[in-house]
Chains A and B, each alone.
Chain A
């Protein structure tokens, strides 16, 4: 291929008369290419007409297209007749999607390789050289366009009549603002409405009634419900308490073992949370203070709480202090006690901000 590399593109012979009846079609093609500054320097059929090689390649390409037809037909047949509905535990549809993907994939790959073989093997090889005209700056063109633009500026006369320019700017600036205003104004939303970033569903209702801790099905919780070394996800016992409407409220109620509970109480006292635990029970926000994932991988022997998103680890017996990973703030603790009917209630809302950190948090 590389034997034909004489470079003669732009300085080629005079343009041909394309209406000359003596020219072959290829001559015209070549002339067209020349007019686009392209020189076809090498053009060589890969297979000669009528040879064994040509017949063989034709069969290969045709074979690919036939495979496409078969696979596409199979796709349709499977699509229509294969049982596809889900059935629990049986999965009669297990092969439906794979078969669809397989037949479709084979159909497409076969047509692709058919076309590719056609193009790659049956068409003549060629090497063409096109001129880039790199570095030949059309300086005349630049001058003309530049002068035209300057002329237009002169005609407008902004330089002579500055008032026009200033007033245009003054007029257009508010228009731009008008375009942005509905979007910004419509989207913008006050983040501190109802103090929502600093309160959770456990905030006492009006009248000071304390909020019960409930399970995911709404049942309140007795101390006997959680075994020592156990943990339970609890929610505020209010309307929609167990829903994403109170995405900051999910709380982990942990029943610590005696020795751990003692340690935990001592740590509580150090930060002035002496009465936050009830017996051996402590409640911590489940929402990680780092990025808001539910930090809920509780290790009952080490008393570590791991967040699965970024691996922050909190030591429950030390006020849920972060001991590893990117979290910088301890999990807020919910002060709890047991009401007269024997169910857990929140003494008050969280006394620290729940959820991921933000600028005005402290």
Chain B
């Protein structure tokens, strides 16, 4: 019998040719495989947010199979005995069912909630990295704006999700949200009534929040994240200054295979940490909160952490009501300022910051090299000011818990927050500014005089001096060594960073290599500087 010869090994090759015949992807694919990414731990923070978003999508889809977004009143008859026979909304009953009557539902719910907290936390940490290293500067202003918008859209996603179970705690949050909308001058009551479909709470808000939470907001998030990543790809990642690194190149690894493997592994690690937290730490025990009833509340009613700063600002706001004596008289409630005006200012300031800074510094150049925080003291200090402002507000959002557990007067906590909000940020500015200058000073000192060796030498006249290891060879100066320029990257300040110690022995339980010869003993004369140090140079300083 005649059979066509079938060569298994050649099949992938043939298939690839077939694909390329039709789509002509070979060259674009090569470009993708070859793309170079710089490697630094701080460049992975944004990935945490991206990966937790993927986990959110996965667990969220699971939850939608069991959640019933309706406010119709039902009487609970699930297996959680302490609520049996209690009238509640269908949304709350189905959330309880997910927790108690769907096998494995609780761990999925908890993973979803932890992933949400992690998503927001990673966004904030990533934003701090971008801010303090100046990665938002031209040409990346657009991506900074998209990133800030992602925080606020994530905020909405979190708040709508937190409200869906319709439990006692989230219902209280929803009530406050309605009061915030009510406080908007002129249109407040119309906005509230339109959002809630009548008077609070109405019967439709959960269904509206549901569609926003599972379709509109995630759609927006996916769109924004895609553009965000697309821009990172197009504009190429920033990098730290260092040997061979210039404003015009990217030094790192090609995307495949090593970089991609690391990313894949990191995704699994993020997923794993979320799974561990989802199983081991209980979050949002809605069964203790009971159904939402307008007259039920708990001590220590707080929103999730990323909303807490708004709760804090509301708590600290003095009772300043602005009456407007026209006609029957109108009023701007005190709630308006900390919950509508403040976030508005924060959105505006944070999105506009790149332009404000560029304008202030008259800086129109493109920057692909990052700055160490100490090298931009003003920016770092402004950032510290913003962070301390945010922290004071967030702590104030939990001031009753702090007051209770540390036995401080609640009223004293409020006053501490009010004063702290005004005093701490300027203080943070000043302290950070001085710290930056001090660190700069020290870097330059080491560059000029060398690293402290810890060796004390007694001079013939009885003085003691510490021997410094210069970082560069002598150039005929009086003190015997040349001065190096600071190039925006870490200056070695310890002898073992200069190779004074032998390399660490590799292997966890037993050495897998023969240890190298004994390290330099303290009595040795100072070691020679490594020659390649001279090559340090940022492209920027060269231009």
Contacts and interface: CB of A to CB of B under 8 A. Distances in A.
Direct contact of A and B (CB under 8 A): yes
Contacts of A297: 299
B249 A115 contact: no
Nearest to A246: B294
B277 interface: yes
B262 A116 contact: yes
A356 B335 contact: yes
A113 B279 contact: no
Contact of B183 (A88, A120, A296, A357): A357
Interface string A7-43: 1010000000000000000000000110110101100
B249 A325 contact: no
Interface in B15-33: 30-31
Interface in A179-210: 187-193, 196-197
B230 interface: no
Nearest to A108: B272
A362 B261 CA distance: 65
Given A247-B200, A362-B331, A101 B279 contact: yes
Given A2-B243, A84-B103, A362 B323 contact: yes
A221 interface: no
Nearest to A287: B294
A27 to B, nearest CB: 15
A109 B273 contact: yes
8 contacts: A109-B272, A112-B266, A250-B295, A308-B300, A312-B319, A358-B183, A358-B189, A359-B185
Interface in B242-291: 242-244, 246-254, 257-258, 261-262, 264-269, 271-280
A324 B257 contact: no
A273 interface: no
Nearest to B366: A134
B74 to A, nearest CB: 13
B423 interface: no
B482 interface: no
Interface residues of A, number: 103
A244 interface: yes
B296 interface: yes
B314 interface: yes
A130 interface: yes
Interface stretch (A156-164, A326-334, A337-345): A326-334
A209 B30 CA distance: 83
Contacts of B106: 96-97
B186 interface: yes
A88 B182 contact: no
Interface stretch (A121-129, A145-153, A264-272): A121-129
A193 B198 contact: yes
Nearest to B252: A128
A119 B258 contact: yes
Interface string B175-209: 11011101111111110111101111100000000
Interface in A82-119: 84-86, 88, 96-102, 104-116, 118-119
Chain B interface bracket (under 10, 10 to 19, 20 to 34, 35 or more): 35 or more
A360 B333 CA distance: 11
Interface string B289-310: 0001111111111000000000
Given A127-B253, A290-B179, 18 more contacts: A35-B30, A88-B82, A101-B276, A101-B280, A105-B272, A105-B279, A114-B265, A115-B265, A132-B249, A187-B195, A189-B194, A192-B189, A193-B198, A244-B294, A247-B200, A294-B294, A328-B333, A328-B334
B470 to A, nearest CB: 20
A106 B273 CA distance: 9
Contacts of B335: 290-291, 326, 356-357
Given A105-B273, A119-B262, A38 B179 contact: no
B190 A188 contact: yes
Contacts of A326: 314-319, 334-335, 338
A76 B296 CA distance: 40
A127 B252 contact: yes
Interface in A241-274: 243-244, 246-248, 250
A324 B257 CA distance: 62
Contact of B178 (A99, A108, A132, A292): A292
Interface string A309-333: 1111100000000101111110000
Given A36-B31, A109-B269, A192-B189, A359 B275 contact: no
A285 to B, nearest CB: 11
A112 B276 CA distance: 14
Interface of A: 2-3, 5, 7, 9, 32-33, 35-36, 38, 40-41, 52-53, 56, 79, 84-86, 88, 96-102, 104-116, 118-120, 123-124, 126-135, 187-193, 196-197, 216, 233, 235, 243-244, 246-248, 250, 286-287, 290-294, 296-297, 308-313, 322, 324-329, 355-362
Contacts of A131: 248-249
Contacts of B334: 290, 326-328, 357
B194 A356 contact: no
B525 to A, nearest CB: 24
Contacts of A248: 199, 294
B329 interface: yes
Given A36-B31, A190-B193, A309 B269 contact: no
A189 B198 contact: yes
Contact of B532 (A3, A115, A193): A3
Chain A CB count within 10 A is highest, among B36, B194, B252, B329, for B36
Contacts of A86: 79-81, 100
B7 interface: no
B380 interface: no
A237 to B, nearest CB: 15
The list of the 9 closest CB pairs from A to B, nearest first, reads A101-B279, A112-B268, A119-B261, A105-B276, A108-B272, A357-B333, A116-B265, A109-B272, A115-B265
A102 B319 contact: no
B279 A357 contact: no
B311 interface: yes
A102 B36 CA distance: 36
Given A97-B106, A291-B180, A130 B188 contact: no
B321 A325 contact: no
Interface string B327-344: 011111111001000000
Chain B CB count within 10 A is highest, among A9, A118, A244, for A244
B414 A191 contact: no
Given A86-B80, A112-B267, A328-B320, A191 B176 contact: no
B269 A113 contact: yes
B462 interface: no
A286 B192 CA distance: 21
B333 A358 contact: yes
